Amino acid sequence: MTLLQEKWRAYRTPGYYTKYDYAWRLVVDLDSCTGCGACVVACQAENNLPIVGERAFQEKRDMKWLRIERYWEGEYPDIKMRFLPMMCQHCDQAPCETVCPVAATYHNQDGLNVQVYNRCVGTRSCAAYCPYEVRYFNWFSASWEAPLEQQLNPEVSIREKGVMEKCTFCVQRIRQAKDEAKDEGRRVQEDDFTTACAQSCPSKALHFGDANDPQSAVSQLAKNPRAYHVLSELNTEPSVTYLARGKAMESAS
What pLDDT score does 39 carry?
97
Structural domain count of the chain: 1
The answer to the question of residue 101 being in a domain is yes
The answer to the question of residue 2 being in a domain is no
> Domain span at residue 28?
14-243
**Kind of pairing, strands 136-137 and 164-165?**
antiparallel
- Region of poorest pLDDT, from 105-109, 151-155, 200-204, 214-218: 105-109
Q: Quick one: average pLDDT of 58-87?
A: 90
What pLDDT score does 47 carry?
97
The answer to the question of residue 3 being in a domain is no
24: nearest Cα among 113, 93, 136, 135: 113
Cβ burial of 129 (10 Å; 0-12, 13-18, 19+) is middle
The answer to the question of residue 156 being in a domain is yes
The answer to the question of residue 60 being in a domain is yes
The answer to the question of residue 189 being in a domain is yes
Query: Model confidence over 20-44: pLDDT tens digits?
Result: 889 999 999 999 999 999 999 999 9
What pLDDT score does 141 carry?
87
The answer to the question of residue 1 being in a domain is no
45: nearest Cα among 176, 142, 141, 152: 152
The answer to the question of residue 4 being in a domain is no
CATH number of residue 234's parent domain: 3.30.70.20
Q: In this model, does residue 94 exceed pLDDT 70?
A: yes
What pLDDT score does 150 carry?
92
